[in-house]
């Protein structure tokens, strides 16, 4: 993992909705944890997608990306492209970087995101060099014993400053990738040290500033290292009390369900990943790889939020949603197949995850409006017909929105729903979102 894949970090549009949703979700998730069907991506059988609106999984907090280093100031057109659910791909989360001196270079972007209803959250990569035992912001190093409160106070002061600037944070990360040393901004904490820093320093510092911002942690490099850090946080009641969101990046391991988070009533977020394929690929191949990552995190890890790395690139690679030309790549539009339609507060509902070979499906419902959103990936090189069955639905028709090699979130003709069933042709190598309103 090199600099373009380094790091990470959000805000709920309504913190009260978040608190109520997490509390209500915890019991349901524990009840359903052992009932999830095992996806069988190798199955060649063409099964109907069975959608069970009564079987609910995680509440969705949103989908997002980071402006760190590369997108400090967006034009209005760029902000609409990223954040508008009407004009763009409708990202609902933005992760900004906290610099070592506890400021940010992304306030202008954060303000434009917040003005479009986006939840903004922030993450530090490293404290200033004078607080670290290697006297450097890079190459790892740790806080000098006794400097923990100084750094915590600076982070809390940053959060207060963002609120005063009109961008109250939805969450504050304790540390980006606390177990990873690299030749960019990094800071090392053991699992116990991070839990203690949250308990003794960061949590109390936020309270002292009069802030009720949820802490997000541990933002580990991958799902393999995540349980060790998450276990340490949850094992300490005081630390766990400050942390509302348990988070990880997705570099080098497969996402998996972390049941203790459900038991404790905590949301789980994926907060950074990118398509590491070496060949530069703005097309649908990268789009389908990213689509599968999103699907796997939603189904296998039951994450409430999913983030790509960068909005805009620093290099000519696959690390961002746009290319160096500023145009959205197909992976950007593919993310929009979820982010534009699956809004904060929606709930993932049970759906056959792999009804036929090369097809993957997720489904969501809005408990307020009753809107139904289904996202279907077709990785095959031919068009595939797929049947959907939704017992008890009052939706009369669904509108497909398609991203493929030729289409970029393009709407197609509505498909009628008859006797709770409908059939859709999924274009080859595409992602199709089916939107139905009661």
CA distance 377 to 163: 39
For residues 133 and 176, is the Cβ–Cβ distance under 8 A? no
Residue extents of the structural domains in the chain:
3-30+62-345, 36-56+350-436
**In degrees, to the nearest 5, what angle opens at C-alpha 244 toward C-alphas 242 and 24?**
130
**Dihedral-angle region of residue 370 (phi above 0 means left; psi in -120 to 50 means alpha; beta otherwise):** left
Identify the CA nearest to 11 among candidates 124, 169, 160, 123. 169
Q: What is the pLDDT of residue 42?
A: 40
Q: What is the pLDDT of residue 9?
A: 35
Tell the CATH superfamily of the 3-30+62-345 domain. Glycosidases (3.20.20.80)
CA distance 141 to 132: 6
For residues 387 and 398, is the Cβ–Cβ distance under 8 A? no
What fold characterizes domain 36-56+350-436? Immunoglobulin-like (2.60.40)
Supply 124's token pair: 């530090």
3-class SS of residue 307: strand
Which residues pair with residue 347 across a beta bridge?
A: 59, 365
3-class SS of residue 34: helix
For residues 65 and 308, is the Cβ–Cβ distance under 8 A? yes
Supply 127's token pair: 């404290």
Q: How far is CA 145 from CA 140, 193, 267, in A?
A: 15, 11, 31
**In degrees, to the nearest 5, what angle opens at C-alpha 303 toward C-alphas 240 and 213?**
40
Q: What is the pLDDT of residue 46?
A: 83
For residues 374 and 387, is the Cβ–Cβ distance under 8 A? no
Residue 101's CB is within 10 A of a number of other CB atoms, namely 10
Residue 382's CB is within 10 A of a number of other CB atoms, namely 10
Walk along the chain (438 residues) and give the pLDDT tens digit of each residue. 333 333 333 333 333 333 333 333 333 333 343 333 344 444 457 899 999 999 999 999 999 999 999 999 999 999 999 999 999 999 999 999 999 999 999 999 999 999 999 999 999 999 999 999 999 999 999 999 999 999 999 999 999 999 999 999 999 999 999 999 999 999 999 999 999 999 999 999 999 999 999 999 999 999 999 999 999 999 999 999 999 999 999 999 999 999 999 999 999 999 999 999 999 999 999 999 999 999 999 999 999 999 999 999 999 999 999 999 999 999 999 999 999 999 999 999 999 999 999 999 999 999 999 999 999 999 999 999 999 999 999 999 999 999 999 999 999 999 999 999 999 999 999 999 999 999
């Amino acid at each position: 993992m090199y600099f373009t894949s380094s790091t990470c970090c959000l805000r709920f549009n309504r913190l009260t909705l978040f608190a109520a949703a997490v509390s209500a979700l915890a019991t349901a998730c524990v009840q359903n944890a052992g009932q999830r069907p095992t996806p069988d991506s190798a199955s060649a059988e063409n099964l109907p997608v069975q959608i069970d609106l009564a079987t609910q999984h995680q509440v969705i907090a949103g989908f997002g990306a980071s402006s760190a280093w590369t997108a400090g100031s967006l034009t209005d057109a760029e902000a609409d492209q990223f954040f508008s659910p009407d004009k763009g791909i409708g990202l609902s989360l933005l992760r900004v970087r906290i610099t070592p001196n506890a400021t940010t270079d992304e306030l202008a972007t954060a303000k434009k995101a917040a003005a479009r209803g986006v939840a903004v959250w922030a993450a530090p990569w490293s404290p200033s060099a004078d607080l670290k035992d290697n006297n450097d912001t890079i190459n790892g190093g740790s806080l000098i014993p006794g400097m923990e409160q100084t750094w915590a106070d600076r982070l809390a002061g940053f959060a207060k400053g963002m609120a005063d600037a009109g961008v109250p944070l939805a969450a504050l990360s304790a540390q980006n990738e606390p177990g990873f040393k690299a030749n960019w901004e990094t800071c090392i904490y053991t699992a116990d040290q991070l839990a203690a820093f949250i308990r003794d320093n960061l949590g109390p510092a936020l309270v002292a500033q009069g802030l009720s911002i949820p802490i997000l942690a541990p933002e580990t490099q991958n799902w393999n290292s995540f349980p060790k850090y998450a276990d340490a946080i949850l094992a300490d009641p005081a630390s766990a009390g400050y942390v509302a969101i348990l988070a990880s990046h997705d570099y080098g391991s497969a996402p998996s369900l972390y049941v203790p988070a459900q038991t404790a009533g905590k949301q789980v977020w994926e907060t950074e990943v990118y398509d590491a394929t070496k060949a530069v690929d703005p097309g649908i191949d990268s789009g389908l790889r990213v689509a599968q990552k999103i699907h796997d995190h939603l189904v296998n890890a039951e994450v409430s939020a999913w983030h790509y790395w960068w909005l805009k690139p620093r290099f000519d690679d696959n690390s961002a949603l746009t290319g160096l030309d500023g145009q959205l790549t197909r992976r950007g539009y593919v993310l929009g197949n979820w982010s534009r339609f699956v809004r904060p507060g929606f709930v993932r509902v049970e759906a056959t995850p792999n009804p036929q070979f090369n097809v993957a499906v997720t489904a969501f419902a809005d408990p307020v409006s009753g809107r139904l959103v289904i996202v279907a990936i077709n990785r095959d090189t031919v068009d595939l017909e797929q049947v959907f069955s939704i017992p008890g639905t009052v939706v009369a028709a669904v509108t497909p929105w398609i991203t493929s090699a030729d289409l970029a979130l393009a709407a197609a003709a509505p498909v009628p729903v008859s006797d709770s069933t409908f059939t859709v042709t999924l274009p080859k190598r595409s992602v199709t979102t089916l939107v139905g309103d009661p």
